[in-house]
Structure formats: C-alpha cells, structure tokens
C-alpha cells in the first residue's frame, strides 16, 4: 500500500475517547484516536466512513474521528457534521489526474444517518421486508427511488470535478459466503449507470465476488482488512454485545475459531484480498486482486504462492456461485488480473 499511487480504505468504527453509546444497532466501542497514525504510516491517503458503526459514539465520536484523520492528512468522505458534508466527495490528486470518492451506508441503522442539522453518515435508503426502519439485521429488499436520485445527483457533481469516480457502498449480508442480495446489485449497477467508474463494497466481514457492468468493475465485498476487536466475545461484560455474539452463531451457523480471538469471523474469512486498479492514460481500468491470508489471532499478510492460488480460486468460485458471471482470474507478478 505504501508503494501505491493512492491507497484507500474503509474505517469501521469511530476513533474517540468518548464512551457514551448511541444508536439502535449493537454498538461497537470507540477505538483509540492514536491508532489513526497507523493508517498514515501504512500509506493510506483516504478513508470512507459511511457504515453502520461510525455513529456509535454519537456526534462527538464522529467529530473526533474527522479531526483525527485531518491531523494525519488523510482525506475522508461518507460522514460529517451534516448530511451535506457527509455526501461531499473526497477529491484526491493522483499525479496529474483527479479522483472523486463517495461513500454510502446501505444497511442502517437509520439512527446513524446524517441530517441537515445532525452529524452522521451518508446513506442510500432501502426497503425492508417488514416495513421497519433500515437496520443491519433486517431483510433488505430493494433501493428506494430516493436512493437512485442521490446517486445520480452526487455522481454527476463528482464527475464534474474529477476524471475518475469511485463509489463505496456499505452493503451485504454478514457472515454468509458468496451471496449477493438483489438490492446490492441494483445499487451497484445504478452507480455505474449514473457515471461511476468503479464500485467497492464492504460490510459483510467476508469477501464477495466481482462483476463488470457496462464494462465497469464492481467489487461486491472486500471482506476484512485489519480487525482488532474483543467486542464479539460471548462472555464479555457488555450485555448487548455478548447477546449478539451468541445470536450470531445461531443465525449464521458457525462458531468462530478460538485461535482468531481478535478477528472472530466466518472460517472462510481467512481468504482476503486487496483490490488493485490500474488507471491507464487512455482512461481504461485494469483490475485485479492481491491475495491476503489472515493468520491467527487476526493478522492479515500477503499470501504465499500456495495460499494465493487458493484465495484466487475461492473468489472465482463465489463469483460464479453468486450469479455474477464467469470471470477469468489470471495470475501476474503484481496481482491476479480479473477479466
């Protein structure tokens, strides 16, 4: 990542010393703001913030996170002191060209959404199976007309300011291999049709397949990057988190490997990757993945040759299983090229 012209990541939780909990999802604890310096050392230039946990420590948590990123000279988008700020793209210079980055939360909870006068994250509203407010544990059906309007307006504004537009969507069914819900494809396709050049997904804590829409790449889920959490231990003193850790095993049918105490996710989540995109001078994109294996207790590292072949085959298999079309995965020195 340090060698990349531009490295982008997603920041899952607020980085703050503020401890009061907000929202209607199972809250994640805030992380130490000092840890943001690690992102800068790792080479990250920008972070997307629109996710289901960014507002767990309220407006103070969001404001502290934005200030911490700014202090590290890391650009951000997807959260802000108001909805207008949260929907503003991050404009990033890459040599003589400019990239615009947009970030949206598609899974709720609605209490995390920004308003005109309240801090929160940018969002794309989706209908729910029972008509209840949007939340990660609910069945999400289809984007609302408002979601399509937001994408058209924001992408058009970003396109006027940059030569490449990247849209990040916090979406997907957690802890479940392969499955891409219909609303996910609808939003990703709508982003491309509105003028985005690349769509990136995250949230499911397990990687997803890859497709092309009108020739533009969609990474439906990057899985986990670096996760360090004890918030999912079943025996912890926080009642809501302990209850969710137990219910999660029942809902998704797996018991985390105890060796992965800092990344207690689905066994297949050890298959990870970094998305790599080459933006050529003629404007075309060449895309691929850099295979990553996750060691216990949760440490990601570049995969060796044998692991890389396994991870590439895994992503190819779940791409086909999800109905995203047959893709060709070709190993190369710098990445596994996807066509």
155-174 tens-digit pLDDT:
999 999 999 999 999 999 99
297-304: average pLDDT = 96
Determine the pLDDT at residue 242.
83
Assign 26 a pLDDT band (cuts: 50, 70, 90).
confident
pLDDT at 102 over 80: yes
Q: Determine contact, residues 108/25, Cβ cutoff 8 Å.
A: yes
pLDDT tens sequence across 172-196: 999 999 999 999 999 999 999 999 9
Q: Which residues contact 188 (CB under 8 A, 6 or more apart)?
A: 169, 199, 201, 213, 218, 220
Which helix (H) or strand (E) segment is 279 a member of? strand 271-279
% of the chain residues with pLDDT over 70: 99
Determine the pLDDT at residue 142.
98
Name the DSSP class of 322.
T
Paired residues of 105 in beta bridges: 123, 170
pLDDT tens sequence across 211-226: 999 999 999 999 999 9
Asked which of 120-134, 237-251, 256-270, 297-311 is least confident by mean pLDDT, the reply is 237-251
Which helix (H) or strand (E) segment is 185 a member of? helix 182-193
At residue 72, the 3 state secondary structure works out as coil
Using CB atoms within 10 A of its CB, is residue 133 exposed (0-12), middle (13-18) or buried (19+)?
middle
CA 144/CA 127 separation, integer angstroms: 6
pLDDT at 305 over 90: yes
| Two structure tokens written together for 208 | 């997803």
**Which sign, positive or negative, has the C-alpha torsion 329, 333, 335, 338?**
negative
Assign 23 a pLDDT band (cuts: 50, 70, 90).
low
Using CB atoms within 10 A of its CB, is residue 38 exposed (0-12), middle (13-18) or buried (19+)?
exposed
CA 196/CA 302 separation, integer angstroms: 29
Using only the alpha carbons of the chain, give its radius of gyration.
Answer: 19
Asked which of 13-27, 98-112, 210-224, 267-281 is least confident by mean pLDDT, the reply is 13-27
74-85: average pLDDT = 98
| Two structure tokens written together for 140 | 């999400």
At residue 101, the 3 state secondary structure works out as strand
CA 256/CA 232 separation, integer angstroms: 10
CA atoms within 13 Å, Cβ hemisphere of 260:
20
Paired residues of 127 in beta bridges: none
312-323: average pLDDT = 98
Residue 277 — φ and ψ, nearest 5°? -130, 130
Q: Indicate the pTM of the whole model.
A: 0.95
Please state which CATH number belongs to domain 8-268: 3.60.21
CA 236/CA 151 separation, integer angstroms: 40
Paired residues of 216 in beta bridges: 213
Per-chain mean pLDDT for the chain:
95
Region of 138 please: left (phi>0), alpha (psi -120 to 50) or beta.
beta
CB count within 10 Å of CB 239 equals: 8
pLDDT tens sequence across 221-273: 999 999 888 777 777 788 888 888 888 888 888 888 999 999 999 999 999 99
């Amino acid at each position: 990542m340090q060698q990349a012209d531009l490295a982008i990541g997603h920041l899952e939780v607020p980085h703050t010393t503020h401890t009061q909990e907000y929202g209607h999802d199972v809250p994640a604890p805030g992380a130490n703001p000092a840890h943001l310096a690690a992102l800068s050392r790792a080479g990250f230039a920008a972070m997307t913030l629109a996710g289901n946990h960014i507002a767990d420590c309220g407006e103070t948590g969001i404001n502290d996170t934005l200030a911490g990123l700014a202090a590290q000279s890391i650009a951000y988008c997807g959260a802000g002191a108001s909805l207008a700020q949260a929907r503003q793209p991050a404009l990033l210079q890459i040599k003589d060209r400019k990239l615009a980055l947009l970030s949206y939360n598609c899974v709720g909870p609605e209490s995390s959404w920004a308003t005109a006068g309240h801090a929160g994250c940018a969002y794309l509203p989706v209908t729910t199976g029972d008509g209840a407010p949007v939340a990660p544990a609910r069945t999400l059906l289809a984007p609302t007309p408002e979601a399509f309007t937001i994408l058209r307006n924001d992408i058009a504004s970003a396109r006027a300011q940059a030569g490449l537009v990247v849209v990040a969507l916090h979406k997907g069914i957690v802890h479940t291999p392969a499955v891409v819900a219909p609303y996910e494809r609808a939003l990703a396709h709508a982003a491309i049709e509105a003028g985005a050049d690349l769509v990136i997904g995250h949230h499911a804590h397990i990687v997803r397949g890859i497709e092309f829409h009108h020739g533009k790449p969609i990474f439906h889920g990057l899985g986990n990057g670096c996760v360090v959490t004890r918030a999912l231990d079943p025996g912890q003193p926080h009642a809501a988190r302990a209850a969710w850790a137990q219910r999660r095993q029942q809902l998704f049918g797996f018991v985390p490997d105890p060796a992965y105490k800092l990344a207690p996710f689905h066994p297949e989540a050890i298959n990870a990757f970094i998305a790599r995109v080459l933006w050529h001078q003629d404007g075309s994109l060449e895309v691929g993945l850099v295979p990553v294996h996750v060691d216990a207790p949760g440490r990601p590292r570049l995969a060796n040759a044998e692991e890389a072949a396994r991870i590439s085959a895994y992503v190819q298999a779940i791409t086909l299983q999800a109905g995203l079309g047959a893709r060709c995965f070709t190993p190369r020195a710098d990445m596994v090229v996807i066509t």
